[in-house]
Chain A
Amino acid sequence: MDAERYLKMMEKNVKYGEIRLMNLKVTSFVMKNGILSGIEKTEEQGIAIRALDKNFSFVSTSKIDDDSIKKAIEKALKFAKSGEKKDIKLSEEEIIKDSWSVPQRKNIDDFSIEEKVSILNNIENTLVKENVPMRFQSLREKIEDIEYYNTEGTEIKGHKPNIFYFYMIGVIEDGNFEQGSQEFGKSGGYEAFDEWNLERTIEEESRKLKIIAKSKKSPEGKMDLIVGPEVSGIVAHESSGHPSESDRIIGREAAQAGESFIKTGMIGERVGSDVVSVIDDPSIEGSFGYYKYDFEGVRARKRYLYKNGKINEFLLNREFAGYLSIKSNAAARSSWWDREPIVRMSTTYIEPGNHSFDELIEDVKFGIFMNSFTEWNIDDIRYNEKYIGREAYLIENGKIKEPVKRPVLEITTPGFYGSVDALSKDLKFFAGTCGKGDPMQGVDVWMGGPFARLRNVYLR
């Protein structure tokens, strides 16, 4: 692509411009109750142009010949000058010239179709052996190549393969239904499956679901609660990551995913106990949401969103960093070649503490251990949230007792973080697809954390 010529067209006419060429190779497999019902193999290419003058404009096209690109640029220039003038000042950032790539130990292209299908078949066989009646699996491999250029001189080429696996199963015991699902994702190649040990994980899940289906409903009232890393992760993502997104804080997502209980002047305000810090870090190698540079060409780095219980840093792109007169921390991401870059998370997690899991448990007289979750949701300012346990147990006198069914935690964000008195030293990550933007953009993320102990919270 003759980026230099296209950038010159933009430089002369607008304050700022950028061009992104993306190539996406995606193969996906869907298996339902043992039948490989869907295989899709697709390769897409497209160009996205973004320009800033009176306003931002964004034009994408799947036609990547010279005429079509020039036409797209002309439209972007015209649209950037339409509407009422908005005083947008981008943060000043380092000019980067670099290329990066994510290595694969077991290359996606070297793996045969039979080997890929056999992954699903092996899990299917395990589930059949466990008499699981409702079985759904999907596997997706994605290779993303990106070329990014802006009118300030930044030029970046990136190459990122990743693997995603999802299962959902349902069991019926004594007429009681229980469902379980989990997502797995990693940047890199098929070596991911060596780490995930899926057959064992899903075998255990199906056995646990059957026990839970026959269990008693959990008790109601105020009690202590220990949550597992899967629950820590979703809490970190929903009630720390999302409310720290600067576009929500400033109101740009107001009509869709909403705003935030956090306002621009709240850095330093307390939202949790001293032991709680929440991090978002795109630079963790192998993570599902890994990137070296964001979609505005800014170098990725670790961000403390909450530090020792206090609001510490927002997730920023260049527009909102400029608005706050600070530097971007590289949170601009786009899910596809035809989507505008917006403020997103990557890997969001509660920072581990110093305790062992046993130390957390032994100090609980009466409570619940919620190791994983099923239904969850949170309001559009990220303040009132709900998590229902999938795998959960009663705790009595420092010992884990019988399984209990679907404990419900309905709590506020400060209510959750303010009740945490101890964290384990474990750290485990879980994959997810984070939805935001209009049109909707699902981006690959990790979320995680340690085991966390909450004191005296209301469960039902």
Chain B
Amino acid sequence: MIDTDGIVKKVLSMGADEVSAIYTESDVKQTRFSNNKMDIYLNYVDTSLSIFIAKNKKTISTTIKNYNNIDEKLSTLLKLMNHLPDNNDFIGLNSKKQTYRDHVPDGMLENLDDLSFMTKRAIEGAVEKGAKRVAGTIYHVTEDISISTNYNSANDRNVGLFYSVRAFNEYGYPGQAAFHTSDHRLLNDFDPYYLGEEAGDFASLVEKPKEGLEGKFDVIFHPLCFGSLVTYTIQMASAYLVETGMSVFADRLGKKIGSDAFTLYDDPTLESGVGFRQFDDEATATKKVTLIEKGIVKNILHNNSTAKKAGVETTGNAGIISPQPWQPVVENGRRSSDDIISEIKRGLLIVNTWYTRFQDYRNGDFSTIPRDGIFYIEDGEIKESWQGIRISDNIPRIFSNILDVSSEKMQVKWWDEVMPSLIPYVLVKDVNITKSK
């Protein structure tokens, strides 16, 4: 273990004005599987010391993994700082004394690491539901993290499990299920069999897919799919990006960009999710931040410097350079997803999406490619599975066209496209669907 208090004192004694030192020890185990078999068992063991230094209005960051000659490395950095221009974006670290919540990692989850067995069970669950081929990944993460600044110190231990399963039917049509948790009580006997079943169910819901159609459709987004749209959007709520002007949140504070049914938080205090964080990179205690309430932009994400410039309090989302979201949560509604689907006259259920790209970050024009289950609904019933479509639309328009949000929520996280988040099903009217011509 590295003593982060000691590191801060050392750097201050070398002439720095402010210092943040974060030491992390992580042990991550992972399996990857495809074609119904495990491909590889991986284990990443890492320790890292990240240091941010401010001196005479200049700033620099470093990450150290080899702890020999730390004094020399730090001394070199401090000398280098004399040659840097001032960083007028940096106002200072959060100097207020912080109080942190008690956090006890889930011991039951901590001891769970038989990933080979879990892999086998996930595959069996999907095959039981009719899948012909199954692929996916399982992660088990333990992380000890300690932070010290001039003003605060804290440490924490996080344990998490996340996995995703993609199942294919005999026509190669896929279904996907993905989940994250830091609480073993959310697992059915620690058995990913049920997640395999969920993916297998989607793959087997309708056998042979049809080519989709263009047009405007009411779409009920599965939590995984809406989680992807939220992930791309919430990154733009960083005050750093808002300051560039190239964000859908730029000049929209206090303005309506969604319907009354849409409320979005960043909630790192949700302990059951792997996005849980006790403190940010400035040692500010994290909190639940309301970003959009009943469609109105209430806040953006701040560190201490961006907050000072905006005349508000930090939201506990440092990144010292650029604030960042931790764990998106969308407020649930009152009706079940089954009830909502039963009232759709002509629409789509979309399970997942990927490759979301923006032609216009400021106004929110984008497209994304639905996958892992696109189901055509008529008079409340799933009639067909589709392929080959794209959503070509606009983020504020989609948020403004939200008609309903389900009562049930799911903890979803998938690969690089969905942050650990807690999301309900979301019904949106008149979503623009396009395809290749």
Chain A residues near B (Cβ < 8 Å): 30, 32-33, 35-46, 55-64, 68, 72, 75-76, 79-80, 82-84, 86, 112-114, 117, 133-136, 168, 170, 177-179, 250-256, 258, 338, 340, 374-380, 383-386, 388, 406, 408, 410-412, 415, 435, 438-440, 458
Question: Bound complex: CA of A44 vs CA of B67, how far in Å?
Answer: 11
User: In the assembled complex, which residues on chain A have CB atoms less than 8 Å from the CB atom of B3?
Assistant: none
| A-B pairs with beta carbons under 8 Å apart, 8 shown | A61-B44, A62-B65, A83-B38, A375-B365, A385-B436, A388-B359, A438-B30, A438-B137
Pick out which of these stretches binds chain A: B86-94, B223-231, B324-332: B86-94
Asked if B42 and A255 sit within 8 Å, CB to CB, the answer is: no
Residues of A within 8 A of B358 (CB): 375
Given A36-B84, A57-B42, A374-B359, A410-B437 contact (CB < 8 Å): yes
Question: Which residues from chain B contact A113 at a C-beta distance below 8 Å?
Answer: 80, 83-84
Partner of A255, one of B164, B244, B321: B164
Most chain A beta carbons < 10 A, residue from B88, B136, B176, B415:
B415
CA distance A33 to B434 in the complex (A): 36
The interface residues of chain A lying within 8 Å CB-to-CB of B362 are 170, 177, 179
Are A55's CB and B39's CB within 8 A?
yes
- The count of chain B contact residues (Cβ–Cβ below 8 Å) is 81
Is the Cβ of B43 less than 8 Å from the Cβ of A79? yes
- Does B380 sit within 8 A of A, measured CB to CB? no
> In the complex the two chains form, is B37's CB within 8 Å of A40's CB?
no
**Residue of chain B at shortest CB distance from A45:** B66
Counting CB contacts under 8 A, is B336 at the interface? no
- By the criterion CB–CB under 8 Å, are B60 and A375 in contact? no
Binds A, one of B148-156, B186-194, B349-357: B349-357
Given the complex of chains A and B, what is the CA–CA distance between A177 and B46 in angstroms? Answer: 43
Is the pair A62, B367 in contact by a Cβ cutoff of 8 Å? no
* A35-B87, A36-B84, A36-B87 known; A46 vs B355 contact (CB < 8 Å): no
Which residues of chain A are near B31, meaning CB under 8 Å? Answer: 83
Contact of A55 among B38, B46, B61, B84 (CB under 8 A): B38
| Chain B residues whose CB sits within 8 angstroms of the CB of A340 once the complex forms | 40, 42
Query: B70-95, CB under 8 A of A: which get 1 and which 0?
Result: 00010001001001110111100000
Q: State the CA gap A37–B360 with chains docked (Å).
A: 24
B39 to chain A, nearest CB (A): 6
CA distance A134 to B361 in the complex (A): 12
A253 to B133, CA, bound (A): 13
Residues in B263-279 with C-beta less than 8 Å from chain A? none
Known: A39-B59, A61-B44. 13 other contacts (CB 8 A): A33-B243, A43-B66, A55-B39, A82-B116, A113-B83, A179-B360, A179-B361, A179-B362, A254-B35, A255-B135, A255-B415, A338-B46, A438-B32
Give min CB distance, A34 to chain B, whole Å: 9
Residue in contact with A134 in the complex, picked from B120, B244, B360, B415, CB distance below 8 Å: B244
Whether the Cβ atoms of A46 and B35 lie closer than 8 Å is no
B87 touches A379 (CB 8 A): no
B171 part of interface (Cβ distance < 8 Å): no
- B84–A117 contact, CB under 8 A? yes
Closest Cβ neighbor of A47 among chain B residues: B45
- List B contacts of A56 (CB < 8 A): 39-41
**CB-contact partner of B116 in A83, A117, A255, under 8 A:** A83
With contact pairs A58-B40, A255-B34, A379-B388 given, residues A44 and B63 touching in the complex (Cβ less than 8 Å): yes
For the complex, give the distance between the alpha carbons of A86 and B34 in Å: 11
Does B435 touch A at the CB level, under 8 Å? Answer: yes
The CA-CA distance from A374 to B89 in the complex, in Å, is: 29
Docked complex Cα distance between A120 and B358 (Å): 25
Contact yes or no, B65 A255, CB < 8 A: no
Contact A256 B434 (CB under 8 A): no
Q: Contact check, B61 vs A415: say whether CB atoms are below 8 A apart.
A: no
In the bound complex, what is the Cα–Cα distance between A410 and B435 (angstroms)?
7
**B434 and A86 contacting across the interface, CB-CB below 8 Å:** no
Q: Which residues of A contact B60 (CB under 8 A)?
A: 39-41
**B368 at interface by CB-CB < 8 Å:** yes
Cβ–Cβ < 8 Å partners of B44 in chain A = 59-61, 338
Complex Cα spacing A57 to B42, Å: 6
Whether A376 pairs with B357 at a CB distance below 8 angstroms is yes
State the CA gap A338–B87 with chains docked (Å): 32
> Nearest Cβ in chain A — how far from B91, in angstroms?
12
A399 to B136, CA, bound (A): 52
Instruction: Return chain B residues, CB-CB under 8 Å to A79.
Output: 41-43
